[in-house]
Chain A
Amino acid sequence: MSRRILLLVVVLALVATFVVGAAPKKVIYHYHWTETIYDVINANAVKMFMLKNPDVEVKMVLLPDGDRPNIIRTVLAANGSIDSFALNNGESAEFLGAGQMVPIIPAAFGKKTIDDVVKMWTPGAIETCGGTWEGQYYGIPFELSDYVAWINIADMREAGLNPAKDKPKTWDQFVEVAKKLMKVQGGTTVRNGFMCNSKEAVFNFLVLLNMMEQLGADWGNEKGLIASMDQPDVLARALKTYTDFVTDSKIWDPALSDNDRSGFGTNKSGIFLTGGTWYWGVLDTYSVKRKDVEPFPYPRFPDGKDIGGVGYGYCLYVSKLAKDPTLSFRFLDALASQPNEFIKQGYHQPRVTLSNGKPGLDPTLAKKYIPYYDQVFKGELAKTAVWLSSTKGNQVRDIVWQAISRVIYEGASVDDSVAQLQTDIKTLYQ
């Protein structure tokens, strides 16, 4: 018994040594998501910042991307130690609407006015990345990407199609092409013509958002979303187009694979719609080769608007709980000052100039490291649909995904599902 007590004491002493020994430095906590390819680049930025500011210690809290907003929300709710964090433009409205962030402090960047700061990024970048709220600027853009369509041209050739001419331009052509790319063996689909994520709401929501915008609805903000609820025919047309992929033309079998990024990369799908410039780097880890793949603009509706893909971005924010907001902004500036390192991985950061006046993203690098940058990505980004900005964005996402799920998993009719969607959205914004 006494031996056990001794053991306990030893263990406690060990523990004490870990708790004690807190550094007298200033410690700032930044909450970010983990992406194995980019973590190295971020770690480097942190190291350089700490070298230049020896009295500061930066603790990067890396979280799985899906858990990131939830953890941030919990820590904020409990007044925990969180000085800065990263959010994408689908998430930021909720936090901005609750006053959780500090507006950009120009002095931290060595600038006099906020306009001088905004000029360091491409025009409109901060808005598209979700970093503005009620006329004020809060977020430092960290990524600006756009979904384009991707197709496997080796599969096209195998199906007797000509990659140069036969890439689909309308949604009807999309279905025709996908049917040819689909492969069935012994009653089971072994290659989807097209696929999206079978489990996650957000990707399906974004593709549908694009279709809605092409059909004239404005799903970029709450007002437009609510207004579109009075257009059931538009809702039904978009929903039907999307769900028909599963139920009608059957070019998408959700049971084959749940994740379209890995599915396309392992040739379980001929086409997918949720990849940005960064996908080249991801593709390299899979079996499909770069030469067998081509990005192309999102198909359109012949009578619809010319809207391509879905634009989204990540911004870095300073929390209102930050002990030293200026210091945190300086850190975020450092974190967002390596656009040329990121572009080598195909990751696009819209930084035009750095705070010290040096140029930011080198446009020739973009062309060099991102195949089809000029031909496809740049053009589509200019015409992109923008993710919904609403404080209840997560609930909207869920409602839309339920609408889609009802049709593709429960066999509900499109009209019934649309009716439920209308009711749910109207109740949400009462």
Chain B
Amino acid sequence: MRKASYSVTRLQNHGYLFILPTLVFFTIFLIYPMLSAFRYSLVEWNALTPPKAIGLKNFIVMVKDPRVINSIVRTLHFSGISVAAINVMAFVFALMFGSRLIRHKNFLQSLVFLPVILSIVAVGVVWEFMYQSTGLIPILLRKIIGVSPIWLTTTSAAPYAIIITYVWKSVGYYMVIYIAGLMDVPTSFYEAARMDGAGFWGQLYYITIPNLRNTFALAVISCIIFTFGQFSIQYVITKGGPARSTEILSLLIFREAFELSKFGYSAAISVLFFLMLLVFSIFQLRLFRSGTLGE
């Protein structure tokens, strides 16, 4: 038997080679544009005339801008509720579709995943139509419980209309993540637990959840990041309205740049956006104790 004759560090340094392709491409095509974008936050630029350097003025304006503050609040509201709803539902679905009680698991899984693959335009058209005052949802609600909120044109209901559509569209995606995670918990663990007399809830609590720590981390952190970053549903269904009640931060970033030609200001907001997510992610990675810095 040949003994390993290299030092531990040299072995571990193979890691550099593995991550090299990713680092190269990410640096060129993502990090460099990202830094450029951050540089734009120090100028005033409408993309057509040369940029004008204005120092930190964008940031000073941004901190006091009610539109930005509104967006932050709306983003936290939208993301908070969506992420919670999505992950709870996705986990429950993943469990359910593995339950022996249910047949036709494949078909049901496909049903839940179906909204994920639809194009956002189609989703927007269909759901917008369903939410209008003579649309399906108010009609059904009035039949069942007698009242219906006015979904798309009141500032109180519009955010929830968006949340419902977004959760509908996204649950399948995270369900797949949880299913993949559940599949990798060895059956032997469950058998051992059963032999020790654990029932459904016992197995869930002692075996499933602890072994899914990495999966939870992936699902929840990605969900937050993606939910923060997506705005196509808001853009297609309400365009950020009514009266900015669905204008989340990523939509504002898009608008300031592409609709109002304020690329510098938009970049400043995206710096804020980035920092918010960075803080969240670091915090959560520590929370899940999954692959923290320096581990």
Contacts and interface: CB of A to CB of B under 8 A. Distances in A.
Interface residues of A, number: 32
A98 B45 CA distance: 11
A2 interface: no
Interface string A64-81: 000000100110110000
B241 A188 contact: no
A257 B155 CA distance: 16
Contact of B133 (A189, A394, A410): A189
A94 B262 CA distance: 12
Interface string A246-264: 0000000111111000000
B49 A395 contact: no
B243 A394 contact: no
B171 interface: no
A394 B260 contact: yes
Interface stretch (B75-83, B106-114, B146-154, B222-230): B146-154
B258 A405 contact: no
A199 interface: yes
Contact of A406 (B132, B150, B243, B262): B243
B47 interface: yes
Nearest to A77: B47
A200 interface: yes
A406 to B, nearest CB: 6
A405 B150 contact: no
Given A190-B134, A398-B259, A409-B243, A255 B48 contact: no
Contact of A409 (B133, B138, B241, B259): B241
B48 A409 contact: no
Nearest to A100: B48
A256 B132 contact: yes
Given A258-B128, A409-B153, A409-B155, A98 B46 contact: yes
Interface of B: 46-49, 128, 132-134, 138, 150-155, 238-239, 241-245, 258-262
Given A74-B258, A199-B238, A405-B243, 15 more contacts: A73-B47, A73-B48, A76-B47, A77-B48, A95-B48, A98-B48, A100-B48, A394-B260, A394-B261, A398-B259, A398-B260, A402-B244, A405-B242, A409-B153, A409-B243
5 contacts: A188-B138, A255-B133, A258-B132, A394-B261, A409-B245
Interface of A: 70, 73-74, 76-77, 94-95, 98-100, 188-190, 198-200, 253-258, 392, 394-395, 398, 402, 405-406, 408-410
